């Protein structure tokens, strides 16, 4: 390996002749020189200990050294390398292990120069409860329901589905064709006559004995086989049962099966997927445009197309530039890999870390074989990917590519509109900003009901969009109920008190501690002169710039579009105009702060008014059982601290219900 560049250039060269090689700490260069030629994962950190980049290598020494051996100039990779002050590495046994660890760390650490797909909500499933011989009558007749969360081995789960809508469509299908119940056990156990679903032929009414447990079990088995893609076998079995009933002159039963066959045939006729050999397939299409990317994921489960979902990664341009600028050291032919292919590989690697991967993937770009091997090792199922499909698969891929293009166009249109609003607000308020993308606005609102359960909210607008992860709620205590001014004073002191103290110390010492936050460019408060005056007092007390404070005062008649902006530094009120893009942005941020505050207030109020509200949300827990639990354990906290065995000792609580309570509270 060539010698690493010295941290200081030779004295004989002039400043113009010297290469723009970043100066790195000696410890970092020593760590690089001591790396082994083994597979592993490396992480780069900046001066604030933020993660810059996570990468994997078959040969750690060769790959990492390449970052420090040449002059990257003013490129994106050069900008990143100039920030590196520390490095961590982990040696693994194989490239497959390196791939899995790399993407686990990317998801966990959120590095600034990797293509990153944000965690979305977990996928929903269709849940079919297991039949049981317990004393609970409902457990003898499994029910179908919408489910999201950790799966349990004793129940059956089908999916995942791309959306809640897809699950609800599947449940409706189970009702129409197989007439399975959807009611919860407490409702099922207390029925004395059939409900409306029986009347409209959506349920066979097992709750009142209109169907035997054996026949219901047969319907459940057929439903499971249908969901798994065995629709032809299900139809053949139903037809055989219908003919058997007809031969025995049991015409009513035969007619029921005839209707079931007709419903199932109608459903199959409506399905757009005719190739039942592909039972479980994911179709992935990537599209990159205007510095943004979209991956459209379409799902086929049990031979049925369930719908799709769009994903939008971040850091696409920086990550793609760094990946493409890496030396071809034999691991990958990076220069031949398109940005779309990089985005697609990043999605496959990150998405299937915690989501079941189907055996077949249909992709718009080729996928690295080592990545497929790693997924196969992780899932225990051989995973294959088809890049240039034919017949039905080609139609699926074309549909996914079309949807990816449409979703990306929508995103770019929305972002362009949002950036225009940001620019309009900056111009209207004469905000001096070098980079409009860095405009940060924090907005505060107070919510309570006649002084009860007062909550303050702080929402954050940054990079042209609301940053949900940075939202904060503050429980307000120790004030006169209903005193909004005191509440505003308390939340501002709590929000900016420590930051103001840190900034004062930094000003005195001339050094800013790592990890210190920054003041927003604008502080919005929902209110007029009174709220603005209180905010001004707080900022003067903390020695902060009062010109940052702007109040959003409701107009005449409190009509939307007539709001005026009130300034803490004495400037005259400003009316932006009903159709102003700047006012639209202010209203959007203000309304989000109000929504966030009022939802927190309602949750706090419900908790105060009804101790044990969480218990009432658990299926099977009514007022009597809730009262017994609270009396036995002294409150919800006591129930939460109790184990399953202790909960099961309460009168009226079975072992299964005790397990449900324990899971719900944990």
Query: pLDDT digits over 405-438, tens only?
Result: 999 988 888 878 888 888 888 888 888 777 888 8
Looking at residue 136, what is its pLDDT? 67
Quote the mean pLDDT of the chain: 81
**Does residue 611 have a pLDDT over 50?**
no
pLDDT tens string 292-318: 899 999 988 877 778 888 999 988 887
Looking at residue 333, what is its pLDDT? 44
Lowest mean pLDDT among 46-55, 296-305, 369-378, 535-544: 296-305
Looking at residue 264, what is its pLDDT? 63
Looking at residue 53, what is its pLDDT? 93
Looking at residue 404, what is its pLDDT? 92
**φ and ψ at residue 355, rounded to 5 degrees:** -120, 135
**For residue 327, what pLDDT band results from cuts at 50, 70 and 90?**
very low
Side-chain half-sphere exposure of 188, counting CA atoms within 13 A: 22
DSSP secondary structure letter of residue 94: S
* Helix axis angle, 369-379 to 95-109, nearest 10°: 80
**Residue range 378-386: average pLDDT?**
88
**For residue 23, what pLDDT band results from cuts at 50, 70 and 90?**
confident
**Topology (CATH) of 26-109:** GIY-YIG endonuclease (3.40.1440)
**For residue 268, what pLDDT band results from cuts at 50, 70 and 90?**
low
CA angle 235, 218, 170 (to 5 degrees): 65
pLDDT tens string 12-21: 444 444 444 5
Looking at residue 121, what is its pLDDT? 62
Looking at residue 335, what is its pLDDT? 45
Question: What does the buried/exposed string (b/e) look like for 234-272 if buried means 16 or more CB atoms within 10 Å of the residue's CB?
Answer: bbebbeebbeebeeeeeeeebebbbebbebbeeebeeee
**Residue range 86-103: average pLDDT?**
89
Looking at residue 489, what is its pLDDT? 93
More confident residue, 316 or 265: 316
**Residue range 151-160: average pLDDT?**
81
More confident residue, 257 or 213: 213
Looking at residue 133, what is its pLDDT? 63
Lowest mean pLDDT among 113-127, 231-245, 336-350, 444-458: 231-245
pLDDT tens string 558-582: 676 678 899 998 888 888 877 788 8
| Residues sharing a CB contact under 8 Å with residue 507, sequence separation 6 or more, in sequence order | none
More confident residue, 18 or 646: 646
Question: For the chain, which residues make up each domain, given as ranges?
Answer: 26-109, 125-270, 281-299+339-410, 436-506+518-605, 610-665
Q: Check: CATH 1.10.150.20 for 610-665?
A: yes
More confident residue, 103 or 619: 103
Looking at residue 515, what is its pLDDT? 63
Question: What does the buried/exposed string (b/e) look like for 130-154 if buried means 16 or more CB atoms within 10 Å of the residue's CB?
Answer: eeeeeebebbebbbbbebeeeeeee
Q: Is 578 left (phi over 0), alpha (psi -120 to 50) or beta?
A: alpha
**For residue 444, what pLDDT band results from cuts at 50, 70 and 90?**
very high
**Residue range 533-554: average pLDDT?**
91
More confident residue, 67 or 613: 67
**Does residue 75 have a pLDDT over 50?**
yes
Q: Which helix (H) or strand (E) holds 76?
A: helix 76-83
pLDDT tens string 124-148: 888 888 877 666 666 788 888 888 8
Looking at residue 613, what is its pLDDT? 52
Give dist(CA 367, CA 374) in Å, integer: 12
**For residue 610, what pLDDT band results from cuts at 50, 70 and 90?**
very low
Looking at residue 15, what is its pLDDT? 44
**Does residue 490 have a pLDDT over 90?**
yes
Query: What are the distances in angstroms from CA 658 to CA 629, 650, 653?
Result: 11, 9, 6
Looking at residue 271, what is its pLDDT? 46
Looking at residue 76, what is its pLDDT? 78
CATH number of 436-506+518-605: 3.30.420.340
Instruction: Name which of 56, 60, 113 is nearest 84 in CA terms.
Output: 113
Looking at residue 45, what is its pLDDT? 92
CA angle 141, 147, 149 (to 5 degrees): 130
Looking at residue 355, what is its pLDDT? 81
**Does residue 163 have a pLDDT over 90?**
no
Bridge-based pairing of strands 292-301 and 156-158 is: unpaired
**Does residue 10 have a pLDDT over 50?**
no
**Residue range 242-265: average pLDDT?**
74
Q: Where are the alpha helices (DSSP H) in 91-212?
A: 95-109, 164-173, 185-189, 196-199
**For residue 155, what pLDDT band results from cuts at 50, 70 and 90?**
confident
Lowest mean pLDDT among 92-101, 271-280, 315-324: 271-280
């Amino acid at each position: 390996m060539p010698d690493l560049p010295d941290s200081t250039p030779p004295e004989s060269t002039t400043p113009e002749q010297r290469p723009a090689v970043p100066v790195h700490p000696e410890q970092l260069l020593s760590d690089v020189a001591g790396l082994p030629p083994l597979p592993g994962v490396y992480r780069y950190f900046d001066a604030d200990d933020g993660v810059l980049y996570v990468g994997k290598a078959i040969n750690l020494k060769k790959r990492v050294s390449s970052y420090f051996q040449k002059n990257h100039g003013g490129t994106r990779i050069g900008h990143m390398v100039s920030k590196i002050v520390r490095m961590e590495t982990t040696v693994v046994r194989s490239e497959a292990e390196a791939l899995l660890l790399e993407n686990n760390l990317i998801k966990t650490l959120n590095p600034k120069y990797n293509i990153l797909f944000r965690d979305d909500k977990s996928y929903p499933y269709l849940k079919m409860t297991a039949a049981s011989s317990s004393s609970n009558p409902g457990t003898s007749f499994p029910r179908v329901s919408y489910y999201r969360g950790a799966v349990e081995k004793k129940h059956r789960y089908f999916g995942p589905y791309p959306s809640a809508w897809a699950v609800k469509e599947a449940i409706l299908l189970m009702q129409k064709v197989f007439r399975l119940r959807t009611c919860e056990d407490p409702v099922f156990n207390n029925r004395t006559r059939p409900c409306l679903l029986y009347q409209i032929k959506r349920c066979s009414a097992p709750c009142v004995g209109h169907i035997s447990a054996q026949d219901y079990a047969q319907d459940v088995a057929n439903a499971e086989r249908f969901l798994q893609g065995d629709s032809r076998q299900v139809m053949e079995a139903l037809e055989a049962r219908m003919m058997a009933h007809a031969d025995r002159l049991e015409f009513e039963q035969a007619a029921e099966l005839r209707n079931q066959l007709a419903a199932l045939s109608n459903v199959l006729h409506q399905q757009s997927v005719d190739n039942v050999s592909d039972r479980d397939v994911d179709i992935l299409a990537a599209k990159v445009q205007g510095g943004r990317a979209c991956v459209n994921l379409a799902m086929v489960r049990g031979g049925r197309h369930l719908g799709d979902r769009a994903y939008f990664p971040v850091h696409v341009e920086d990550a793609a530039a760094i990946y493409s600028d890496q030396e071809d050291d034999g691991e990958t032919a990076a220069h031949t890999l398109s940005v779309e292919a990089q985005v697609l590989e990043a999605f496959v690697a990150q998405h299937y870390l915690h989501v079941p991967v189907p055996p077949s993937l249909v992709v718009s770009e080729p996928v690295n074989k080592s990545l497929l091997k790693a997924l196969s090792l992780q899932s225990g199922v051989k995973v294959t990917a088809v890049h240039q499909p034919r017949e039905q698969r080609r139609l699926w891929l074309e549909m996914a590519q079309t949807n990816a293009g449409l979703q990306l166009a929508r995103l770019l249109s929305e972002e362009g509109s949002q950036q225009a609003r940001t620019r309009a607000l900056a111009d209207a308020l004469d905000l001096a900003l070098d980079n409009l993308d860095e405009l940060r606005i924090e907005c505060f609102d107070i919510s309570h009901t006649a002084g009860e359960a007062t909550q303050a909210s702080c929402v954050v607008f940054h990079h042209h969009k609301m940053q949900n992860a940075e939202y904060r709620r503050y429980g307000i205590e120790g004030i006169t109920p209903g005193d909004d001014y005191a509440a505003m004073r308390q939340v501002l002191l709590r929000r900016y008190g420590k930051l103001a103290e840190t900034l004062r110390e930094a000003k005195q010492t001339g050094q800013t501690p790592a990890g210190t936050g920054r003041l927003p460019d604008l502080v919005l408060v929902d209110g007029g002169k009174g709220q603005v005056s209180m905010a001004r007092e707080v900022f003067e007390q903390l020695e902060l710039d009062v010109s940052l404070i702007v109040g959003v005062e409701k107009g005449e008649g409190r009509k939307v579009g007539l709001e005026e902006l009130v300034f803490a530094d004495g400037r005259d009120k400003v009316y932006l105009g009903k159709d102003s893009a700047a006012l639209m942005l202010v209203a959007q941020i203000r309304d989000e702060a109000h929504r966030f505050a009022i939802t927190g207030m309602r949750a706090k109020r419900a908790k105060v008014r009804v101790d044990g509200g969480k218990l009432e949300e658990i299926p099977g827990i009514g007022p009597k059982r809730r009262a017994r639990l609270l009396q036995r354990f002294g409150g919800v906290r006591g129930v939460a601290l109790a184990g399953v065995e202790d909960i099961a000792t309460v009168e009226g609580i079975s072992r299964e219900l005790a397990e449900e309570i324990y899971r719900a509270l944990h």
